[in-house]
Amino acid sequence: MRWIEHTFYTVRMSPQSKLSARIPVLNDYLRRNGRAPTLAELCTLFGVRSKNTASVMAGKFVEAGVLRRTATGRLVPPPRREVCPLRLLGSVAAGFPSPAEESLLDTMSLDEYLINKPESTFMLRVEGDSMVEAGILPGDTVLVERGRTPRNGDIVIACVDAAWTMKYFYKDGKGIRLEPANKKYETIRPKRGLSVEGVVSSVIRKLV
């Protein structure tokens, strides 16, 4: 497999990336059924034939906190976490300073604010600087919505010529091109194939 070094996101290409892509599918199953899948059901969900492979996969889900094992080894959903809405206290000027008055305007769940379709959304950790001019920096986390048709100007996660990348998506008379947000890098035009895994919907960055 050939790599595009400056656009490579290790979380997408590593075994952890496969886990990240599978978690929304598993979460959707948990919501619909209210229980954890059996090993046979894991095989069906993820297209694997061996229950041994499904057992290893289940262990990865347990390590990630998506499933847990009881004392008898049975797979069960994790305890539900309460969503803690945050208080929206007002606005603040980012240009010229102005007095900030604290008043409760609303409450907000970050999950609901950032994620439109939880069942088809996954996260990736960014490595590389090819999208810095779009405000996406190394170490950031991006939320990716699978199944959404990309439009011109969308930032997508795509497999192009057997290498994974994150770029602006454009379609013109010559076909599809992927544009970086860094003048150091060149436009990519797929030569052998292109598969869009999802559209980036949000960027998350911790400052402290």
Q: Is 174 a catalytic residue?
A: no
Query: Which residues, other chains included, contact 90 with Cβ-Cβ below 8 Å and sequence gap of 6+?
Result: 100, 101, 102, 103, 105
Single out the catalytic residue among 14, 18, 51, 130. Answer: 130
3-state class (DSSP) for residue 67: coil
Q: Is 191 a catalytic residue?
A: no
Instruction: Identify the DSSP state of 113.
Output: H
Contact 1, 162 (CB under 8 A): yes
Single out the catalytic residue among 60, 98, 120, 167. Answer: 167
Instruction: Identify the DSSP state of 6.
Output: G
Please report where in the chains the tokens 């598969």 appear, as a residue: 195
Residues with active-site annotation: 130, 167
